[in-house]
Every structure is written in structure tokens, then in C-alpha cells.
Amino acid sequence: MSINSEECFDVVIVGAGFAGLYMLHRLRGLGLTARIYEQGDDVGGTWYWNRYPGARCDAESLAYSFGFSEELEQEWQWSERYSRQPEILQYAKHVAERFDLLRDIHFGCRVNSVEWNEQRRRWSVTTEQGDRVTGQYCIMATGCLSVPQLPAIEGLDSFAGNRYQASQWPHQEVTFSSQRVGIIGTGSSAIQAIPVIAESAGKLTVFQRTPNFSVPAKNNLLNRDWVNQFKSNYRAHRENHQKGIGSGFGDLDIEPLAEAREPILMDSIDSGQAEQLLQAAWTRGGAIFLGAIGDTMMNESTNQFVQKFVHDKIRTIVNDPETATSLCPGNHPIGTRRICVDIDYFETYNRANVRLLDLRKSPISKITATGVETASEFVELDTLVLATGFDAMTGALLGMDIIGQDGVQLRDAWAEGPKSYLGLSVNGFPNLFTITGPGSPSVLSNMLVSIEQHVDWITGCITYMGDNGFTSICADQSAQEQWVGHVNDVANGTLFPKGGSWYLGANVKGKPRVFMPYAAGVGPYREICDQIAEAGYRGFRFSA
């Protein structure tokens, strides 16, 4: 264990996922010194940890990639429409090497304390491994879905077979052949893993508490001519992802959405046209299905129309009517929980070796050494997979001691839920920035689009401070309150709060129920951030 006595940096970054990597690159461009601390043993963040079978991105490869370097975007070749986890991890490594970032990253180091020193106007950052450094700025690039959530089920630890967690998957190969496998959870992770595990497992039992809406990815190998054509117009596509109506997931390239400047609302079309739009989006594949009818997330009756469309699809795909009924979500409007994007998920239930166990009819009572006991039966298992989600958005931040002005802990400041200005800065925590923090579009958007926007904004802000002789910046209390109020108002104007999802902290016992992301979309959010910067960073206080 090496103890460095107070190395000083301009900036200390926590996390070497895409946010941390791009942030470091931009800070280098400003001539600043920076150190990244990363808990994992390599770059990649979420793509380093989430190695479960079938893990891949639910945004399209050419949209889920960096746009800051034209050379990078031209030279890197994605192989599939939705990239697999190993390819995305390879891309993260390539970015780190190409921009010579590795020399400023300390791996295997978990930051446990970040404390503001008012006299020195610097952050002291300490790691569990004994490093202690200071930075004028501290930037949290800790990811929104990086703290796994284990189910509170009696006897979980007594299971004597193989136990895997989707978000902490082993680095060595895991095989399922001829085994009796059980999986708990039916969120995005499980919906990707189930079809792949089913291919080799002897028998797969899916323990489903809440069915989820999922749309087909329609994945394919990318055609080089199509890619070249797309890349020849990359700037226009990027602009569309950053400012368009689809939250950055890709181009709304179905008729007549491609030409529409405004979303097409249900009121402006008849039900036959609405069906056609949904069918076109379903056939096209991907999460932009939710954008096919523009008021799906705002209007209850539109949402019900879209729900019924998906229910009908499930009933058409799944042969067994009882299983199909169990798979039809009924307790939340579509899109209010993160929509899943799948490859043959519903089709998998037609396999003879796959069985859905509906926990709403027969809840899990306990886990024993040999399997899972429900109210109606005991399921013997060789292998148990947990795909039970994350303590999202605030988990990683509140897992550290972040101590701001007057010794206030972030976890106390956020006791009633996260409060920030723009999801970037917190009152009482000067020179601390959060990339894709609560209060910004983050998890509702293509994360790469949001990461680049935040990093660019922070870079602009630090440049402005240097140019004007400022040494510290802090969000103003009243600006923060107004922003939090605005984030809540926007959420309350949508159906999101009805989802009871991790967006609201509803999956973590005792977590305040606050809708955390900003739901107005990446385009409007970017405009607000830019206007605030142009107005001399309105709502922030600077000190010389």
C-alpha cells in the first residue's frame, strides 16, 4: 500500500468510464493537471463491470460513441447495430490509449472521502488504498448505475450452487450447459441475458415479479456502405442526436417522423395512422419506439394505446396464453420504467427449456442451499443469477463521504432526495461537478450524448473561471431550489412519476421518492445550460 502525502492536482476525477475519460482529455487540452481514481482494474465503467451474457448497448452504436474527435469516429468500426459489451469495452480502451489517458489513471482505487477545505479552497480526496491528494476541482464521473442492488430475500447467502450477479459478472467464462438455472429479475439486464442463457442451459426458470415493456432491437451486422454513408454525414447526425426530439438514441428515421420538425401527437392522427406509426417503429427496432407518437409520455390515453399495441405483440409472439398474460405489463405506463430493447426475449418463452414463474401469483418465500422456494413450489437450481438492479443515480455519490462547506455531508444535504443545479453542481459544494448527475437528462438519454454535453460545459466553465481570475464556483441556493422545482414540475407534467421505478428510487428501501432525471429532453436541456453559460453562469457564485 503506497501512501502519497498530498500530491496536488488541478482536478481530481472519480471514475474512468466514458465520462471520466473524456473529462481528462478535455482538461489536458486546457493544460491542467488531473488524476483519475478508478475502482475497477481497467477503463470502461459500466462496460467494465456489466459482462453478463447478452450484455450490449440499447442505443445504436453509431449514436452511442464519442463525437468529439472526427478522426476517432471515422476510424473506429462498429460491427453491429447494437454493440456487444466486449466491443464497447474495447472502444473505451482504444479511446484511453489513443488519447494517451492511461498514465493519469490509478486503477483499483476506491475513493472513500472527498472533503472541501475552505481555507485552501481545495478538495482533499482519499482512497481506501491510502492515496491522499488534493484538487482545486473534483469531478464525479461515477456513473448512474454503478452500485448493485441485491434482493432482500431470506436465505440468499445460503445458496450452495453457483451464484452470479449480472452487474458483477466474473471475468472468466461462465457456462450453463445442462444446468438448472434460475434468474431473478426481468429488467433490461435480465431481458438481455435470458435469451442467451436459454440457449445453453438445461432448464431456465425466470422468476418475474414485475413484467417489463420491451421492444425488439432488430439488431444486425452493420453494412459497410451504409456506415460509410452515415459517417459522411456524421455532423448532421450528431446534431440531430444532441438537439432532436429523440433524447439522443438515434435518428427517427421512419416515415413520416423523419421529416417532422415537431413530434406527431395522437390528437393529430387517427388510430389507424397511430398503429402504422407504431408498427413502423416496431419494425425499425429500438428505444425510439417511444418517440413514435409524441405524447406517449404525457398523455394517459395515448400511453394506453401504445401499451395495448405492445400487449398484442406479446400475445402474438408467445405461444402459451397464460405465459403471455404474465408477461404483459399492467402496473405502469409504458416508458415510465426504462423501456427494454431485446433480441428474441418474448420468443424465448416458446422454448421447451424455459419457464416463467410469475411471482405475483406465487412470491418467493426463501432461498435455500439447493434452490428457490415460492409460495406454491420449490425450484431446484444448480445456478442462480441475480439481475436485480442498482441503487441508481445517487448510490455511488452517497457511498462516499463527500463533505462540503461547514462540514456538511452530501448525504445529509440530500436526505430528502438529490438537490442540484442543472444536475452539475450542488450548493455548499464548491468546485465539485457531477457528470450526468440527478437533475440532468442522464439516464433518460443516450448517455454518451449527455456525457459529452456535460464535459464540454464543465470545460467551458473552468476556462471562463481561469480567464476571469476566479478560483471557486458554487451553485446559488435559490438557483438550485428553482431548478429542483423545475425538474419536479417537468416530471409531474409527464407520466414518469407513475412508473414506481428506479428513476424514483422506488427499488431501494428507505430511499426518498424523488424523480431524479430531468425529463424535458437533451435538446431543451442543452439550450438552458448554454444560455446560463452565456449569461455569465447565471445562478452560480464565483470567488476570486
Choose between 60 and 131: whose C-beta lies nearer to ligand N01: 60
Instruction: Sketch the per residue contact string, 292 through 311, with ligand N01: x for CB under 6 A, - otherwise.
Output: --------------------
428 near ligand N01, judged by CB under 6 A: no
358 near ligand N01, judged by CB under 6 A: no
Element at 188 (helix H, strand E): helix 188-200
Convert 299-313 into a string of H (helix), E (strand) and C (coil). Answer: CHHHHHHHHHHHHHH
- With beta carbons less than 8 A apart as the criterion, state whether 299 and 335 touch: no
Among 127, 425, 440, 507, binds ligand N01 (CB under 6 A): 507
Instruction: Sketch the per residue contact string, 218 through 257, with ligand N01: x for CB under 6 A, - otherwise.
Output: ----------------------------------------
Number of residues that bind ligand N01 (CB under 6 A): 28
**Residue 300 CB contacts under 8 Å (≥ 6 apart), including other chains:** 333, 495
185 near ligand N01, judged by CB under 6 A: yes
Among 179, 186, 303, 383, binds ligand N01 (CB under 6 A): 186
Candidates 129-137, 145-153, 198-206, 302-310; binding stretch for ligand N01 (CB under 6 A): 145-153
Q: Residue 346: count other Cβ atoms within 10 Å of its Cβ.
A: 21
Which residue is at the shortest CB distance from ligand N01?
187
Closest CA to 397 of 50, 15, 42, 137: 15
Choose between 341 and 484: whose C-beta lies nearer to ligand N01: 341
- Give the 3-state secondary structure of residue 172: coil
Choose between 88 and 484: whose C-beta lies nearer to ligand N01: 88
- Give the 3-state secondary structure of residue 177: strand
Choose between 256 and 363: whose C-beta lies nearer to ligand N01: 363
Candidates 188-196, 293-301, 423-431, 470-478; binding stretch for ligand N01 (CB under 6 A): 188-196
Q: Is 73 exposed, middle or buried (0-12, 13-18, 19+ CB in 10 A)?
A: middle
Choose between 50 and 434: whose C-beta lies nearer to ligand N01: 50
| Distance in angstroms (rounded) separating the CA atoms of residues 81 and 343 | 12
Among 83, 146, 165, 189, binds ligand N01 (CB under 6 A): 189
210 near ligand N01, judged by CB under 6 A: yes
What grid cell was written down for 53? Answer: 451474457
| Distance in angstroms (rounded) separating the CA atoms of residues 304 and 288 | 17
| Distance in angstroms (rounded) separating the CA atoms of residues 502 and 82 | 24
153 near ligand N01, judged by CB under 6 A: yes
| Distance in angstroms (rounded) separating the CA atoms of residues 88 and 102 | 17
344 near ligand N01, judged by CB under 6 A: no
Choose between 124 and 445: whose C-beta lies nearer to ligand N01: 445
| Distance in angstroms (rounded) separating the CA atoms of residues 145 and 503 | 11
What grid cell was written down for 515? Answer: 424523480
- Give the 3-state secondary structure of residue 155: coil
Choose between 274 and 339: whose C-beta lies nearer to ligand N01: 339
Choose between 61 and 507: whose C-beta lies nearer to ligand N01: 507
Candidates 16-24, 54-62, 91-99, 286-294; binding stretch for ligand N01 (CB under 6 A): 54-62
- With beta carbons less than 8 A apart as the criterion, state whether 144 and 392 touch: yes
57 near ligand N01, judged by CB under 6 A: yes
Candidates 127-135, 189-197, 265-273, 406-414; binding stretch for ligand N01 (CB under 6 A): 189-197
Q: Residue 543: count other Cβ atoms within 10 Å of its Cβ.
A: 12
Closest separation in Å from C-beta 191 to ligand N01: 7
DSSP 511: -
338 near ligand N01, judged by CB under 6 A: yes
Among 9, 37, 429, 502, binds ligand N01 (CB under 6 A): 502
131 near ligand N01, judged by CB under 6 A: no
Q: b/e for 237-252, b at 16 or more Cβ within 10 A?
A: bbebbbebbbbbbbbb
138 near ligand N01, judged by CB under 6 A: no
Closest separation in Å from C-beta 451 to ligand N01: 14
Among 32, 96, 111, 145, binds ligand N01 (CB under 6 A): 145
Choose between 139 and 153: whose C-beta lies nearer to ligand N01: 153
Residue 432, beta-bridge partner list: 138
- With beta carbons less than 8 A apart as the criterion, state whether 135 and 142 touch: no
| Distance in angstroms (rounded) separating the CA atoms of residues 35 and 104 | 5
Candidates 113-121, 207-215, 306-314, 532-540; binding stretch for ligand N01 (CB under 6 A): 207-215
Among 42, 58, 344, 382, binds ligand N01 (CB under 6 A): 58
| Distance in angstroms (rounded) separating the CA atoms of residues 312 and 302 | 16
Closest CA to 440 of 425, 459, 456: 425
101-104: which pairs have CB atoms within 8 A and are 24 or more residues apart? Answer: 101/21, 101/24, 101/25, 101/36, 101/43, 102/43, 104/24, 104/34, 104/35, 104/36
Choose between 56 and 180: whose C-beta lies nearer to ligand N01: 56
**Residue 484 CB contacts under 8 Å (≥ 6 apart), including other chains:** 419, 420, 439
Choose between 210 and 276: whose C-beta lies nearer to ligand N01: 210
Binders of ligand N01 in range 369-408 (CB under 6 A): 387-390
Choose between 389 and 404: whose C-beta lies nearer to ligand N01: 389
Closest separation in Å from C-beta 136 to ligand N01: 33
44 near ligand N01, judged by CB under 6 A: no
Please identify which residue in the block is written with the cell numbers 439516464: 443
Candidates 18-26, 206-214, 316-324, 460-468; binding stretch for ligand N01 (CB under 6 A): 206-214
- Residue 355 φ/ψ, nearest 5 degrees: -135, 135
Among 94, 209, 231, 541, binds ligand N01 (CB under 6 A): 209
Site residues, ligand N01 (CB under 6 A): 56-58, 145, 151, 153, 166, 184-190, 192, 207, 209-210, 338, 359, 364, 387-390, 443, 502, 507
